[in-house]
Amino acid sequence: MDDETPRVLEANRSFYAALEHRNTDEMDECWSHAEDVACTHPGWHRLDGWDEVSRSWRAIFTNSRAWRVRCESERALVSGDLAIVFCIENLEAVGGQGDPARMQATNVFRKEGGAWKMVHHHASPMPEVEASEEEDTVN
Amino acid sequence: MDDETPRVLEANRSFYAALEHRNTDEMDECWSHAEDVACTHPGWHRLDGWDEVSRSWRAIFTNSRAWRVRCESERALVSGDLAIVFCIENLEAVGGQGDPARMQATNVFRKEGGAWKMVHHHASPMPEVEASEEEDTVN
């Protein structure tokens, strides 16, 4: 395991903490503010550049209700100043009745000024069906 | 631009050529065959390890009809032995009537034995609506 892996996973956890807290200052702190960052929220087109990405988080936090966010099945690849974390996101409305929403995420981090900053977030909904059912429906 | 970027983009194009050709040998050549590779097809759960990933391509190629695959809006980040390409995939059935399917993809490559091999592919459907409509529906 690369020495930087624990720091990358910590950066990934900070992102999910900011998401759970719906805190724009924390989210700002997680991300690189560069022009080349990108973000694909579930069911959205890709947003390019920090201006678009930061606006999207503000919109999400303004409109969303309190939720618990849990990240599981994390796997990290690290090389030099670039790192990728694959994980599953569980988002559950506080006091809600329904099942948690489950997303698959690919998160990319870049080391900037010694700190790991998010430069890309791609999340998409997990299928509801079991793997064995699903493979029958490949087309 | 990193010196390796053209080679990474070439690896990315080879992946889409293999997809268009529905050729398992070409697809095998594009990928790392390591245990840590992962693949999230649109609407699927994540597949882990080369065994699962290669089986999925075989299933897709067995069941799919001829299509044209075009990759656009490519952007690459490269550091050391790791590279990420974000792009939009257009898949259009040959002789089909409908609009092309559009997917957003995050592709990760790792340099293995001097060659860039795919280690992760995450694709999810693009929304049908325009960005301006979409942002009104964020929740």
> Each residue of A65-114: pLDDT tens digit?
899 999 999 999 999 999 999 999 999 988 877 788 899 999 999 999 99
A122, A126, A136, best to mutate vs chain B, most B CBs in 10 Å: A122
| CA pair distance A116, A82, nearest whole angstrom | 9
Name the percent of chain A lying above pLDDT 90.
Answer: 73
Nearest to B64 among A78, A88, A139 (CB): A139
Residue B58 pLDDT grade (very low, low, confident, very high; cuts 50, 70, 90)? very high
| CA pair distance A31, A17, nearest whole angstrom | 13
A35, A64, A77, A134, best to mutate vs chain B, most B CBs in 10 Å: A77
Dihedral angle of Cα A126, A131, A135, A138, to the nearest 10 degrees: -10
- Cβ distance B77 to A78 less than 8 Å, yes or no, reads no
| CA pair distance A135, A93, nearest whole angstrom | 30
Nearest to B104 among A46, A73, A83 (CB): A46
CB atoms within 10 A of CB A55: 13
CB atoms within 10 A of CB B136: 8
Predicted pLDDT of residue A72: 93
Average pLDDT over residues B16-21: 96
- Cβ distance B77 to A122 less than 8 Å, yes or no, reads no
- Cβ distance B106 to A131 less than 8 Å, yes or no, reads no
Per DSSP (E only), the strands in chain B are: 38-40, 47-48, 67-79, 82-93, 101-112, 115-125
Average pLDDT over residues A120-137: 67
The alpha carbon of residue B5 is apart from the nearest alpha carbon of chain A, in Å, by 14
Give me the interface pTM, i.e. the ipTM.
Answer: 0.80
Task: Provide the edge-to-edge strand list for the sheet that holds A82-93.
Answer: A47-48, A38-40, A115-125, A101-112, A82-93, A67-79
A61, A89, A107, A124, best to mutate vs chain B, most B CBs in 10 Å: A124
